[in-house]
Structure 1
């Protein structure tokens, strides 16, 4: 196989194809050659294919073999001066620069044997799109001086619900919703014109009785009974329990008994206790519990209560008591609309779930609110005077309670109050007559401190009165928790 031109060397990735330089005299002699050698019959071997074309150095050093003539005599080899002007197209195509050929790379300055690619005209970036070169010494950029941030003005005070006067012992209302009516004003429970007329409160026991009690030693039976009463008074109630206090007639000590029960629960229990006044006929529960002023009543609170209100929201509308606990009066010491059954149901259902025990001072029987309270409460306290007619009328009320669809007698306690130091009625006989119905009976003895009226001060109560109040509260809680 005859030697031909070698194929072009493969270029490295990223480098352009480089072809060797050809002298112009050789190109002129190649152009004078015919386009294709004549085919002679009987030629010894065919013309070499483009793949077998001798390399460029061999073509330059060796003379190309001339095709033999018809007689087999080889033709004279042409000299460079008499070389034909034409050359085959296949040979010219291998030396002619193509559209994708690039000129030879220039040698990198300062580095021998290494070349760099010359920039291509078609790849050159137009001058209008070329990024300007940064200056060698850029001017310094001025840095602005730091400025102090503006101080926001203080927020304006909240004035939708104004706080009560400084003299009123009522906390500011926590706003939970916009009211559809004006916020009520605080009202003092005692007229300032009558305050100087109040005398010094008396102690429940006389001096002789207090002296004898200090000499007498406490027996073990009294200590055991006191410990049992405290256990019953402090037992957990689970859900909020409602204790309703009512009577068969007015003036028998109903509000006083309710205040004693509420005060005993507030002093001996750690969970919140609420005293609720459900008697709008100028009730005196706020005065007996020592509240200096009242603001919100049951009727007004029932209009803004929502299920989403928590204990903190609700206590903003209640009256905090001096010795602990909370109070919600039925009125603000003025004659107003009476408390109706829907309002009572709304208030008790919304508030009792936030308090362990709620003591409701209801109106006298047979009022509608009193009968509703006796029917829906967990425990009931019926206050009756320790007189012959008082015990007889209380027995009639107990027979009525026994006729209810759900008997209320197992959760009922009767409080017999003594309005005078000396009573003609036999206490044992009266208690036995009432216990026949299955209710509990607790006697509240006469107390000089309670008989004088005004705020109840626990430290001035007689010893027998304090023990009777704790026994009455413990009996009510016990029956409210364990009654069916």
Structure 2
């Protein structure tokens, strides 16, 4: 018996939508002016070569859909933001279908970050509908199209509800990777069951670490746990070290070195005024350093995802 279509629900309460205000640029005017002046005197060849290298990494062909799981040790550190940045980077550089899948039912913000105006079908609904005979056009009828390309499957409708169970997560990810070259999964925080399952079964993992002593220390404990998994999970893991304040005092070099001791790649995601607003992410409004970091993170994750057969 077919299930009834859920009601469409706005991602942001209309009474609060005006509070988002106009999006700010990630870089201040002074910083943008200084960067433009430096570009006039610097050679662009090296920068172009690096951008081309990263683009090639992101565009690597895949024979089966790759799943990249994103998690963190606690909420509020930028996990959904990193997931959205990754999905946008893959959508920009790849020419095959890309899916952003939200696997965090604790009022996650991925739909807002990706600019979805409303959501209808959620993971638990779609898990009951998917069949092996469906075509991509059938599947996308239950997904949210993202303005800049790609698709979104939310975990819920912005209400506190039952957590996503491991069985549903496995059903959805196994079925949908047939249709999407890359699936970016915005997981719940560790040590949740779905997060542990996602980290164990994904082709690549991104752990978001806040640039604080507590955050780096806790993330290192997660990396030590990944090292104990039986299939080299650590070799396919990247850490996104996120600065959530312009006044961070922790020494970046020390923090990066501590995390790299475990053998993982570390990408620094700088503080960005546009991201700090918490609304929809507009790529053109991101600071230049943030845009570069997002592309580097996508390249690092994809390079590791294709290693797994």
The Cα shift of 1:357 comes to: 0.3
- The equivalent position to 1:410 in structure 2, one of 235, 238, 243, is 235
- Which structure 2 residues correspond to residues 347-386 of structure 1 after superposition, within 5 A? 347-386=172-211
The structural deviation recorded for 1:353 is 1.4
Question: By percentage of residues, which structure has more strand?
Answer: 2
Shift of 1:407: 2.1
2:305 match: 480
State the match for 1:298 in structure 2. 123
TM-score (norm 1): 0.62
1:429 equivalenced with 2:254 (yes/no): yes
Instruction: Find the counterpart in structure 1 of residue 138 from structure 2.
Output: 313
The answer as to whether partners of 1:410 and 1:483 remain within 8 angstroms in 2 is no
Greater relative contact order: 1 or 2 (C-alpha under 8 angstroms, separation 6 or more)?
2
One of 164, 167, 173 as aligned partner of 1:339: 164
Q: Which stretches of structure 1, 4 residues or more, deviate above 4 A after TM superposition?
A: none
Q: Deviations over 1:322-374 (max 9, x none)?
A: 11100000001112221000000000000011101000000000000000000
Match of 2:91 among 263, 266, 275: 266
Q: Does 1:193 align with 2:15?
A: yes
Q: Please say if 1:250 is aligned against 2:84.
A: no
1:210 matched to 2:32? The reply is yes
Provide, for residues 115-141 of structure 1, a one-character-per-residue CA deviation record: whole Å limited to 9, x for no partner.
xxxxxxxxxxxxxxxxxxxxxxxxxxx
Distance in 1 (CA, whole Å) between partners of 2:254 and 2:188 is 28
Deviations 1:176-211 (A, max 9, x none): xx51x3211111111111122331111000001111
TM-score normalised by length of structure 2: 0.97
Q: Aligned residue pairs: how many?
A: 306
Q: What's the CA shift for 1:309?
A: 1.0
Look up the SS of the partner of 1:454 in the other structure: coil
> In 1, Cα distance between the equivalents of 2:237 and 2:73?
14
Do the aligned residues in 1 keep the contact of 2:20 with 2:277 (CA within 8 Å)? no
Structure 2: segments with no counterpart, 5+ residues: none
Q: Deviations over 1:293-337 (max 9, x none)?
A: 111000011011111111111001000011110000000111222
Q: Please name the residue that 1:450 is paired with.
A: 275
Is the CA contact (8 Å cut-off) linking 1:319 and 1:328 kept in structure 2?
A: yes
Q: Residue 276 of structure 1 corresponds to which residue in structure 2?
A: 101
Alpha-carbon distance in 2 for matches of 1:193, 1:420: 28
Question: Which structure has the larger Rg?
Answer: 1
Q: 1:483, CA displacement in angstroms?
A: 4.5
> Which runs of no fewer than 5 residues in structure 1 stay unpaired?
1-177
Matches within 5 A, 1:118-267: 179=2, 181-217=3-39, 218-219=42-43, 220-267=45-92
| Counterparts of 1:389 and 1:282, CA distance in 2 | 24
Contact 1:447–1:465 (CA under 8 A) maintained in structure 2: yes
Q: Secondary structure at the match of 1:257?
A: helix
Which of the pair is proportionally richer in helix?
A: 2
Q: How much does 1:279 deviate?
A: 0.2
Partner-residue secondary structure (3-state), 1:203 = coil
